[in-house]
Amino acid sequence: MSARTLVKDLAPPAFLDLYRRWSGRSLRFTDQPATFEDAKRLSTSYAAPQILERTLAATRAVTSGAAAFERDSILFDEPDFPFPILATLLRAAAGGSGRLEVNDFGGSLGSTFRQCRTFLPAALPVRWQVIEQPAFAEAGRQEFATDELQFFASLSDLPAPSANSVTVASSVLQYLDAPLETLQQLGDLPAGHLIIDRTPMSALANDRLCIQHVPAHIYKASYPCWIFSRAGLLERLSTRWNLLADYLCPEGTARTDDGLSFEFRGLILERKP
Protein backbone atom coordinates (compact mmCIF):
# COMPACT_ATOMS: atom_id res chain seq x y z
CA MET A 1 0.00 0.00 0.00
CA SER A 2 1.39 3.40 -0.97
CA ALA A 3 1.75 6.24 1.51
CA ARG A 4 -0.80 8.23 -0.48
CA THR A 5 -3.35 5.40 -0.24
CA LEU A 6 -2.67 4.97 3.47
CA VAL A 7 -3.26 8.66 4.14
CA LYS A 8 -6.47 8.52 2.11
CA ASP A 9 -7.71 5.54 4.13
CA LEU A 10 -6.84 6.97 7.54
CA ALA A 11 -7.51 10.69 7.16
CA PRO A 12 -10.82 12.04 8.49
CA PRO A 13 -13.34 12.98 5.77
CA ALA A 14 -13.22 16.64 6.81
CA PHE A 15 -9.45 16.71 6.27
CA LEU A 16 -9.77 15.09 2.86
CA ASP A 17 -12.42 17.61 1.88
CA LEU A 18 -10.13 20.49 2.88
CA TYR A 19 -7.23 18.93 0.97
CA ARG A 20 -9.28 18.52 -2.21
CA ARG A 21 -10.44 22.13 -2.00
CA TRP A 22 -6.89 23.39 -1.37
CA SER A 23 -5.47 21.35 -4.25
CA GLY A 24 -8.27 22.27 -6.66
CA ARG A 25 -9.34 18.63 -7.09
CA SER A 26 -13.01 19.05 -6.14
CA LEU A 27 -15.99 21.19 -7.04
CA ARG A 28 -16.45 24.36 -5.02
CA PHE A 29 -19.73 26.12 -4.35
CA THR A 30 -19.48 29.78 -3.36
CA ASP A 31 -21.49 32.98 -2.95
CA GLN A 32 -25.21 33.62 -2.54
CA PRO A 33 -26.22 35.75 -5.55
CA ALA A 34 -29.64 37.35 -5.25
CA THR A 35 -30.65 36.63 -8.86
CA PHE A 36 -29.57 34.44 -11.75
CA GLU A 37 -28.36 37.56 -13.57
CA ASP A 38 -26.11 38.36 -10.60
CA ALA A 39 -24.87 34.77 -10.65
CA LYS A 40 -23.98 35.03 -14.35
CA ARG A 41 -21.96 38.18 -13.66
CA LEU A 42 -20.00 36.30 -10.99
CA SER A 43 -19.22 33.33 -13.24
CA THR A 44 -18.19 32.32 -16.73
CA SER A 45 -20.69 30.34 -18.82
CA TYR A 46 -21.77 26.75 -19.35
CA ALA A 47 -21.70 27.64 -23.05
CA ALA A 48 -17.99 28.52 -22.95
CA PRO A 49 -16.22 27.14 -26.07
CA GLN A 50 -13.66 25.16 -24.09
CA ILE A 51 -16.44 23.03 -22.54
CA LEU A 52 -17.68 21.86 -25.94
CA GLU A 53 -14.11 21.35 -27.17
CA ARG A 54 -13.24 19.26 -24.13
CA THR A 55 -16.48 17.25 -24.41
CA LEU A 56 -15.90 16.64 -28.13
CA ALA A 57 -12.40 15.31 -27.47
CA ALA A 58 -13.65 13.04 -24.68
CA THR A 59 -16.56 11.71 -26.75
CA ARG A 60 -14.26 10.97 -29.67
CA ALA A 61 -12.03 9.00 -27.32
CA VAL A 62 -15.01 6.90 -26.20
CA THR A 63 -16.36 6.26 -29.70
CA SER A 64 -12.88 5.26 -30.90
CA GLY A 65 -12.55 2.74 -28.07
CA ALA A 66 -9.78 4.60 -26.21
CA ALA A 67 -11.97 4.96 -23.09
CA ALA A 68 -14.99 3.16 -21.64
CA PHE A 69 -17.12 6.25 -21.13
CA GLU A 70 -17.01 9.93 -20.30
CA ARG A 71 -18.92 12.04 -17.82
CA ASP A 72 -18.68 15.83 -17.82
CA SER A 73 -15.76 15.45 -20.29
CA ILE A 74 -13.78 13.26 -17.86
CA LEU A 75 -12.67 9.90 -19.28
CA PHE A 76 -13.02 6.59 -17.46
CA ASP A 77 -11.34 3.29 -18.28
CA GLU A 78 -13.95 1.00 -16.70
CA PRO A 79 -17.71 0.88 -17.32
CA ASP A 80 -19.86 2.49 -14.64
CA PHE A 81 -23.46 1.58 -15.30
CA PRO A 82 -26.12 3.99 -13.92
CA PHE A 83 -28.34 1.23 -12.55
CA PRO A 84 -31.23 3.41 -11.30
CA ILE A 85 -31.56 4.83 -14.82
CA LEU A 86 -31.18 1.40 -16.42
CA ALA A 87 -33.85 -0.10 -14.17
CA THR A 88 -36.28 2.62 -15.23
CA LEU A 89 -35.45 2.21 -18.92
CA LEU A 90 -36.04 -1.55 -18.75
CA ARG A 91 -39.26 -0.98 -16.81
CA ALA A 92 -40.50 1.39 -19.49
CA ALA A 93 -39.44 -0.93 -22.31
CA ALA A 94 -41.29 -3.85 -20.72
CA GLY A 95 -44.46 -1.75 -20.69
CA GLY A 96 -43.93 -0.34 -24.17
CA SER A 97 -44.23 -3.41 -26.39
CA GLY A 98 -40.50 -4.07 -26.18
CA ARG A 99 -39.34 -0.67 -27.47
CA LEU A 100 -37.39 2.04 -25.66
CA GLU A 101 -37.72 5.76 -26.31
CA VAL A 102 -35.72 8.30 -24.29
CA ASN A 103 -35.94 12.10 -24.20
CA ASP A 104 -32.52 13.04 -22.79
CA PHE A 105 -32.67 16.70 -21.80
CA GLY A 106 -29.17 18.14 -21.43
CA GLY A 107 -27.66 14.86 -22.60
CA SER A 108 -24.41 16.39 -23.90
CA LEU A 109 -23.10 14.39 -26.86
CA GLY A 110 -24.77 11.16 -25.79
CA SER A 111 -22.91 10.38 -22.54
CA THR A 112 -25.78 8.58 -20.81
CA PHE A 113 -26.78 6.80 -24.01
CA ARG A 114 -23.32 5.24 -24.31
CA GLN A 115 -23.22 4.32 -20.63
CA CYS A 116 -26.55 2.54 -20.92
CA ARG A 117 -26.54 1.05 -24.41
CA THR A 118 -23.96 -1.67 -23.82
CA PHE A 119 -25.96 -2.97 -20.85
CA LEU A 120 -29.32 -2.95 -22.63
CA PRO A 121 -30.23 -5.97 -24.82
CA ALA A 122 -28.69 -5.55 -28.26
CA ALA A 123 -31.98 -6.56 -29.90
CA LEU A 124 -33.99 -3.90 -28.03
CA PRO A 125 -35.17 -1.20 -30.46
CA VAL A 126 -33.96 2.15 -29.08
CA ARG A 127 -34.71 5.75 -30.02
CA TRP A 128 -32.61 8.10 -27.89
CA GLN A 129 -33.24 11.82 -28.43
CA VAL A 130 -30.80 14.30 -26.89
CA ILE A 131 -31.96 17.90 -26.37
CA GLU A 132 -28.99 20.24 -25.95
CA GLN A 133 -27.62 23.73 -26.54
CA PRO A 134 -27.50 24.52 -30.28
CA ALA A 135 -23.71 24.17 -30.54
CA PHE A 136 -23.78 20.77 -28.81
CA ALA A 137 -26.75 19.61 -30.88
CA GLU A 138 -25.01 20.58 -34.12
CA ALA A 139 -21.79 18.85 -33.09
CA GLY A 140 -23.78 15.76 -32.15
CA ARG A 141 -25.57 15.69 -35.50
CA GLN A 142 -22.31 16.08 -37.42
CA GLU A 143 -20.27 13.42 -35.63
CA PHE A 144 -22.29 11.12 -33.40
CA ALA A 145 -25.83 10.75 -34.71
CA THR A 146 -26.94 7.20 -35.57
CA ASP A 147 -30.20 5.42 -36.28
CA GLU A 148 -30.62 5.14 -32.49
CA LEU A 149 -29.15 8.46 -31.33
CA GLN A 150 -30.44 11.83 -32.52
CA PHE A 151 -29.80 15.43 -31.42
CA PHE A 152 -32.16 18.42 -31.15
CA ALA A 153 -31.56 22.05 -30.17
CA SER A 154 -34.86 22.58 -28.31
CA LEU A 155 -37.86 20.76 -26.93
CA SER A 156 -39.98 22.28 -29.68
CA ASP A 157 -37.83 20.51 -32.31
CA LEU A 158 -38.38 17.13 -30.69
CA PRO A 159 -40.60 14.67 -32.60
CA ALA A 160 -43.67 13.84 -30.53
CA PRO A 161 -42.62 11.31 -27.87
CA SER A 162 -44.79 8.31 -27.07
CA ALA A 163 -46.64 7.82 -23.79
CA ASN A 164 -44.22 5.00 -22.95
CA SER A 165 -41.09 7.13 -23.33
CA VAL A 166 -38.73 8.11 -20.52
CA THR A 167 -37.59 11.68 -19.96
CA VAL A 168 -34.12 12.02 -18.40
CA ALA A 169 -32.71 15.19 -16.84
CA SER A 170 -29.27 14.30 -15.49
CA SER A 171 -27.07 17.02 -13.98
CA VAL A 172 -28.83 19.78 -15.89
CA LEU A 173 -31.72 21.41 -13.99
CA GLN A 174 -29.36 23.08 -11.50
CA TYR A 175 -27.68 25.11 -14.26
CA LEU A 176 -30.83 26.64 -15.78
CA ASP A 177 -32.10 30.17 -15.40
CA ALA A 178 -35.68 28.97 -14.79
CA PRO A 179 -35.46 25.29 -13.83
CA LEU A 180 -39.02 25.05 -12.54
CA GLU A 181 -40.40 26.30 -15.85
CA THR A 182 -38.26 23.73 -17.65
CA LEU A 183 -39.50 21.04 -15.29
CA GLN A 184 -43.05 22.04 -16.22
CA GLN A 185 -42.18 21.78 -19.92
CA LEU A 186 -40.61 18.36 -19.40
CA GLY A 187 -43.76 17.30 -17.61
CA ASP A 188 -45.78 18.39 -20.64
CA LEU A 189 -44.03 15.76 -22.76
CA PRO A 190 -46.26 12.66 -22.99
CA ALA A 191 -43.71 10.46 -21.21
CA GLY A 192 -44.62 7.78 -18.73
CA HIS A 193 -41.48 8.18 -16.60
CA LEU A 194 -39.25 11.05 -15.51
CA ILE A 195 -35.73 10.61 -14.13
CA ILE A 196 -34.01 13.50 -12.34
CA ASP A 197 -30.43 12.41 -11.72
CA ARG A 198 -27.24 13.88 -10.20
CA THR A 199 -29.05 16.96 -8.89
CA PRO A 200 -28.05 18.92 -5.74
CA MET A 201 -30.71 18.98 -3.02
CA SER A 202 -30.66 20.25 0.53
CA ALA A 203 -32.86 20.14 3.63
CA LEU A 204 -33.60 23.85 3.33
CA ALA A 205 -37.17 25.02 2.82
CA ASN A 206 -36.15 27.14 -0.19
CA ASP A 207 -33.89 26.73 -3.22
CA ARG A 208 -30.42 28.24 -2.89
CA LEU A 209 -28.47 29.87 -5.73
CA CYS A 210 -24.66 29.72 -5.74
CA ILE A 211 -21.63 29.60 -8.04
CA GLN A 212 -20.11 26.23 -8.94
CA HIS A 213 -16.39 26.24 -9.71
CA VAL A 214 -14.96 23.47 -11.88
CA PRO A 215 -11.60 22.02 -10.71
CA ALA A 216 -8.74 23.55 -12.67
CA HIS A 217 -7.44 20.15 -13.82
CA ILE A 218 -10.68 19.64 -15.82
CA TYR A 219 -11.05 23.14 -17.30
CA LYS A 220 -11.26 26.64 -15.93
CA ALA A 221 -14.93 27.55 -15.65
CA SER A 222 -17.63 28.54 -13.22
CA TYR A 223 -21.37 28.86 -13.61
CA PRO A 224 -24.57 29.56 -11.67
CA CYS A 225 -25.91 26.53 -9.84
CA TRP A 226 -29.13 25.89 -7.94
CA ILE A 227 -29.22 23.76 -4.82
CA PHE A 228 -32.85 22.69 -4.69
CA SER A 229 -34.98 22.26 -1.63
CA ARG A 230 -35.62 18.50 -1.71
CA ALA A 231 -38.97 18.86 0.04
CA GLY A 232 -40.01 21.71 -2.24
CA LEU A 233 -39.00 19.83 -5.37
CA LEU A 234 -40.90 16.71 -4.34
CA GLU A 235 -43.98 18.77 -3.56
CA ARG A 236 -43.93 20.41 -7.00
CA LEU A 237 -43.48 17.06 -8.74
CA SER A 238 -46.27 15.38 -6.78
CA THR A 239 -49.00 17.07 -8.83
CA ARG A 240 -48.13 14.98 -11.91
CA TRP A 241 -45.87 12.19 -10.73
CA ASN A 242 -45.71 9.30 -8.28
CA LEU A 243 -42.29 8.86 -6.69
CA LEU A 244 -40.86 5.39 -7.32
CA ALA A 245 -37.35 5.91 -5.92
CA ASP A 246 -35.21 8.58 -4.26
CA TYR A 247 -31.49 7.75 -4.16
CA LEU A 248 -28.06 9.18 -3.40
CA CYS A 249 -25.94 9.61 -6.54
CA PRO A 250 -22.22 8.72 -6.82
CA GLU A 251 -21.26 12.39 -6.32
CA GLY A 252 -22.49 11.96 -2.74
CA THR A 253 -22.48 14.88 -0.35
CA ALA A 254 -21.00 18.35 -0.68
CA ARG A 255 -20.82 21.63 1.18
CA THR A 256 -20.81 25.26 0.14
CA ASP A 257 -17.95 27.45 1.31
CA ASP A 258 -20.28 29.02 3.87
CA GLY A 259 -21.29 25.65 5.33
CA LEU A 260 -24.51 24.50 3.66
CA SER A 261 -24.49 20.70 3.40
CA PHE A 262 -26.33 19.09 0.50
CA GLU A 263 -26.49 15.88 -1.49
CA PHE A 264 -26.54 14.95 -5.15
CA ARG A 265 -29.73 12.91 -5.43
CA GLY A 266 -31.80 11.17 -8.04
CA LEU A 267 -35.57 10.77 -8.36
CA ILE A 268 -37.43 8.20 -10.41
CA LEU A 269 -41.02 9.16 -11.12
CA GLU A 270 -43.99 7.61 -12.88
CA ARG A 271 -46.80 9.68 -14.34
CA LYS A 272 -50.02 9.59 -12.38
CA PRO A 273 -53.03 8.03 -14.14
Q: Tell me which H or E stretch contains 59.
A: helix 49-63
pLDDT for position 12: 46
What lies within 8 Å, CB to CB, of 181 at 6+ separation is none
- The burial class, CB within 10 Å (0-12 / 13-18 / 19+), for 120 is middle
* Rounded distance between C-alpha atoms, residue 9 and residue 149, angstroms: 42
pLDDT computed for residue 50 by the predictor: 79
Closest CA to 224 of 214, 216, 207, 212: 212
pLDDT in tens, the chain (273 residues): 444 443 334 444 443 343 334 333 488 999 999 999 999 999 986 666 778 898 999 999 999 999 998 887 888 898 889 999 999 999 999 987 789 999 999 999 999 999 999 999 999 999 999 999 999 999 999 999 999 999 999 999 999 888 999 999 999 999 999 999 999 999 999 999 999 999 999 999 999 999 999 887 777 789 999 999 999 999 999 999 999 999 999 999 999 999 999 999 999 999 999
Residue 7: per-residue pLDDT: 35
Phi-psi region of 168 (alpha: psi -120 to 50; beta: other; left: phi over 0): beta
Angle subtended by helix axes 49-63 and 134-143, to nearest 10:
20
Q: What is the pTM of this model?
A: 0.88
Residue 48 CA to residue 214 CA, distance in Å, equals 13
Domains and CATH numbers, the chain: 45-206+228-253+264-271 (3.40.50.150)
Say how many residues make up the chain.
273
H helical segments located in 74-118 = 83-94, 111-117
